[in-house]
Amino acid sequence: MPVTTRRLQDLTIDDHTLEVPLVWADPEDGRTIDVHAAVVAREDGGNLPYLVFLQGGPGHEAPRPFHAPAAPSWLDAALEHYRVVLLDQRGTGLSTPVGDGDLERGAEALAEHITHLRADSIVRDAEALRQELGADTWSVLGQSFGGFTTLSYLSTDAASLEHAYLTGGLSAVGRHPDDVYSLTYDKMREASERYYRRFPAHRDAVRRIVDLADAGALVLPDGEVVSPSRARSIGSLLGSNDGWQTLWSLLELDPRTNAFRHDLAGAMPFDARNPLYFVFHESSYADGHATRWSAERTEPDDFRADPTLLTGEHVRREWLDTVPGLQPWRDVTLALAEHEWPRVYDEAAIAASHARGATAIYVNDVYVPFEFAIETARLIPGVTPWITSEHEHNGLRAGDVLSRLIDLAHGRAVR
Following DSSP, what letter does each residue of 74-96 receive, concatenated? THHHHHTT-EEEEE--TTSTTSS
The structural domains of the chain, with segments of one domain joined by +, span: 3-174+344-409, 177-337
Mean pLDDT of 145-173: 98
Q: According to the model, what pLDDT value does residue 65 have? A: 86
Confidence check: pLDDT of 415 > 60: no
Least confident of 58-67, 85-94, 198-207, 339-348: 58-67
What confidence score (pLDDT) does residue 147 get?
98
For the segment 190-201, what is each residue's pLDDT rounded down to a tens digit? Answer: 999 999 999 999
Residue 340 gets which letter from DSSP? -
| Angstrom distance (rounded) from CA 310 to CA 331 | 28
DSSP calls for 242-278: THHHHHHHHHTS-TTSHHHHHHHHHHSS--SSSHHHH
**Is beta strand 357-362 parallel, antiparallel or unpaired with respect to 161-167?**
parallel
Phi, then psi, of 122 in degrees rounded to 5: -60, -40
pLDDT band for 367, please (50, 70, 90 cuts). Answer: very high
Average pLDDT, the chain: 95
d(CA 176, CA 157): 24
pLDDT at 289 over 60: yes
Judge whether 347 and 375 are in contact, CB under 8 Å. Answer: no
User: What is the Rg, in whole angstroms, of the alpha carbon atoms belonging to the chain?
Assistant: 21
Provide mean pLDDT across the span 24-36.
Answer: 96
96 and 88 Cβ atoms separated by less than 8 Å: no
DSSP code at position 31: -
Q: Does the reported pTM lie above 0.85? A: yes
pLDDT score, position 67: 61
Q: Has domain 3-174+344-409 been given CATH number 3.40.50.1820?
A: yes
